[in-house]
Structure formats: structure tokens, C-alpha cells
Structure 1
Amino acid sequence: MENLSVKLFDRTLRNPVMNASGTLGYGREIEPLWGVETLGAYVTKGLSLNPHHGNPTPRVWEEERGLINSIGLQNVGVDRFFDQYFPLFRAKKTPVIVNFFGFTEEEYIACAERIRPDRLIVALEMNLSCPNVKQGGISFGKDPDLVHDIVKAVKGVTGIPVIAKLTPEVKNLKEIAQAAYEAGVDGFTLLNTLPAMVVDVGKRTIPIRGGLSGPVLKPVALKAVYEISTSFPVPVIGAGGIMDHNDALSFLMAGAKALQVGTATFIDPYAIPKIVKGLGEYLKRCGCPSIGAIVGTARG
């Protein structure tokens, strides 16, 4: 069998394919179609210290080459996730990356503290695109000083590896990554969605403002993965517009150690199993000894 296993933060994952946060619910939702054990690791919906109701509808809007979502970070809260949903991953022996967020630095810290180390937890993924209500609503991830401080604070309360999920809504992504790296971050997820909106011409209304994902984001995310993976000695997880195994290969070749698939699942719920299969077939065709052998091999 082709060797798709990857090592991430001293954990061996069966393959490099994960879901993007929020795109597989709490894991149970996909089980009637395929098992979560198909994943190298499951990435949770963004979890907060307390349950959060999210935004009113409409929450999702299709575009020609992408998807706009305005879910508003709805989630059951970190405690309920571990009480009610985490047992599925124990039963399936599936590693988990816990995506979490807060609206203040204190909420980030408190949420991270509530997540106890477990043999199945690979890392904590910090969503740094949330507004800082104490600083006029600026996104944490846009300010290098805020990024440094909040990453350092979270690292100070947990022994679990910490991943910073960065926003593309910045002038200098490397500056933001540098701030997180100096604060001790263990890895990066690149990239989060782009801010977007829709105008209904007939009604002259704006029905939705949200985050743009899907194929339109892929070139932006690829550039980010290449630049950050060649600049910092920590693993990068690629995300943004991965629709098939060729897209997945492009992220790996650009320098990603692993990857996350999101929008593709809404178009084809079997996209992730197909990508895993396609990666195995590629290794067989090219005679590569392992998936790790192609990571970072793209050259300009």
C-alpha cells in the first residue's frame, strides 16, 4: 500500500488530508456516507468558551468560483463538544485538531485552558480572524502585536501544540507569521476565508456578508503556503480551494505538510475520500516512496 502517512507535531497521521474547520459539523453528520477514520485528522468546528448562536439566515451563498458563508461561528461550546461529540473520535481512533476562538484575549486563554491534553489531540488551531471587542472590533490576526501577545498567552496555558490559522486580509502575511513564530507558535494553517459580500440587484439589498472560500482562493493560499513554509521552520497546513487530488498535490508541493478540504465537500460529499484515493494513486504512478517525498518540491 502507498505510504500516505505524515508526521505532525510528533504524531503520525494516516494521511495528510483533513477537513477545514466547520465543514463537517461535529463529525457525526458525515458518518452515513463515510467514516471520520478516512481523515488524517478531524478539525473541529470553531469552539468557544460558551455556546454561540451565530448569525441569522441567509448564511451561505454560492458564487461562480466560490462560496460565501456567514455562519457566525455557531457552536455548542468547548465543554459540550468534549462531553457529547469527542467520544466518536475515541471510538474511531481518529486524531483531532481543535479549532477554537474568543472575542477577547481572556476568552482565548480560558478556552485553551479547558482543553485537556489527550492522546488523540494533535494540536489546537487558533482562529485569529475573530474581532477583538476590546479594540474596536479589529481582527486579532491583522495586528502583529496582538498576534504575538495572544499566541504567547495561549502557549503559556497549554502544553498542546498551537497552530495559528491566519487571515489573508493583511498587507504583509510574513510579518504576521513572524509575530506568531516569535511568540512560540508550533505551526500555521493557511489560509482562512476572504471577506466578501453580495448585492441583490433586483432588490437593491446586501443579503450576505461573509467569508469567501473555494477555488477562487486557491492561488492566494498557494502563494501563502509557499512563502511561509520557506520562511519558518514549523509545519504549514494548506487550505483554500482544494477541490481534487491535483489541487492537494499542488499544496503539498508548495510546502504544506498537510491540507484541509472544505468547500469541495459541499459540492461532492465524497470529495475527501476521493482526494485520499487520488493521492495514493499518484504515489503509485510516480513511484514516490511516500507522500512526504513530494512536500516542498515545487520550484520557481
Structure 2
Amino acid sequence: MFLGFTIGFLVALGIILKTFIVVPERSKVIKERLGKFDQVLGAGFHFLIPFVDRAAYRQEVREQVIGVPSQSCITRDNIQVDVDGFVYLKVTDARKASYGIGNYITASVNLAQTTMRSEIGKLTLDETFTERDAINENIVNEIDKASAPWGIKMIRYEIMNIDPSRRVVDTMEKQMEAERQKRADITISSGEKEAKINLSEGEKIQAINLSEGEKQRRINESNGTAGEIRTLATASAEAVSLVANAINGPGGRQAVQAQLVEQFIDEFGRIVSKSNVSVVPNELANIQGFFQGMGEVSQKIPTSSNEKK
């Protein structure tokens, strides 16, 4: 009796539990009636007819993040790389997600992998590192087109890692090292070039300044010499003019002749005193005529002075 009561109680409890369902806010439930789609149950409390209605599918309507496993791809320049990433999607139609495809998560991952292989094959290795945003956008567009009948929306796709083989990595490192060394050599050579240019410009300016200074010094010296010569010439001209005026004056000629005779005698005396050879000029051969000439000159000088008075 007690066993039968217990069994009846459990059956009744099971029937009661199947008469209602609570759907959380983040989910949607597909209700079938007699094995056929009836409606989509939103968040809240819902009654079911026992043995007639049933909750066939429960779909998550929040945005989901699904990891895409790493796979090998061949770039346009025939380099093998391993690429993985994440798919961000959301169920927009619970009925299509339940009846349009058996497992939309697996289908999305497989579609993402095939699309990623296709997009990587269009690019070179260098472009795969610089064109990530374009790759992600193309993958999202392709998956979104294919997944429209599934009732899901592809939000975005993110490539996480692009890993070339070890041999390719070593080659890239050598290439980058060579490129860095090249840039360093170019920088050093450019610096040396600039230094030589600056040095030559400095030497050029120095040479120009020195030449300008030398030119100005010579101009100044020539101007000074010219001024000195003009001054001496002017003084000489004035002296000659004064001498000429004195000679042309009364008794001037006789004074000049007396001065010349006096200078001649002085010079002759110095020559004779310094020389071991006795030299007698022809003009002094007749000593008497010489002294007579001197006497006449001496007599004429006072006479000219008296005439002036």
C-alpha cells in the first residue's frame, strides 16, 4: 500500500513538473506540440500540456565566444603558417538555430577555418601581419552570409596568433637583423657625410674670410703706400719748386754752383781717404785754373748780393 502510494506520488509530481517551465532571461526555448514546432518561449513562467507539449530546444541568446583551433595555412608566397582565433556570434532566431542546422557552433568554427585559409592564401607573409583588420572583416562578411539561414549573427572574428615555422622565423630574424644593420650603416654614413659637408663648408668659409682679410690688408697697404708716395711726391715737388724758385732768384745759380763744388770736394776727399790708388781727375789737372774758377765764384756771390740791395 505504501509502495503504491509512493509510486503514485512520484508520477503525479512528474506530471506536475512537466506542466510548467521557467525560461531564464538569457535563453529561449522551442516548444513543440505533438512533435511539431509550436512557438518560441521567451523569459518567464510557461505552462505545458503534459504528454502533448515539450521543450524541444534551448538556445543561448547572449553573445558567445568560440575558439577556433589552430590550423595550417599557406600564404601567397608559399609559406606555411599556423593561425588560430576567436569567433564572436549571437543567436538572432532561435527557431532557425534549432531547425536550420544541427550544431551551429561546430558549423561556425568549420566555416571560420575554411574562410581563414582562403583569406590567408590571398596574402603574402608580410601582409598577414599588417592586414589583420582586413582579414577579420572579410572572414566576418563571408561567415555572416553563409550563416544567415542558421539564425545566427556573426559579430566579429579576431585572429589571435599567426605562427610561421621555426625555419621561417629564423630567416625573418636574419632579415630584420640585416635590415637594422643596413639602417645603422645608412645612419652612420649619413652622419659622416653631413660632418664632411659641414667641415668643408667651414673650411670654405674660413678660406673666404682669410682671402677677404688678405685682400683688405693689401688694399689698406696699397692705399697707405699710395698715400705715402703722394705725400713724398708732393713734398719733393714742393722742395724742387722751392729750389727752382731759389735758383731763379738773384744769386741762386752761383749758390748752387758753390754748393756743388763743396759737395764735390767732400766726396772726392772721402774717396781719396779710403782708396790706395791716387786718382787725379782731369778737371784738376790744371790746379791754377781750378783755384781761379773758385776765386771768380767767390767774387761773384757778394757782387750779386750788392746788386740785390
* TM bucket, shorter chain: under 0.3
More helix by share: 2
Q: Which has the larger radius of gyration?
A: 2
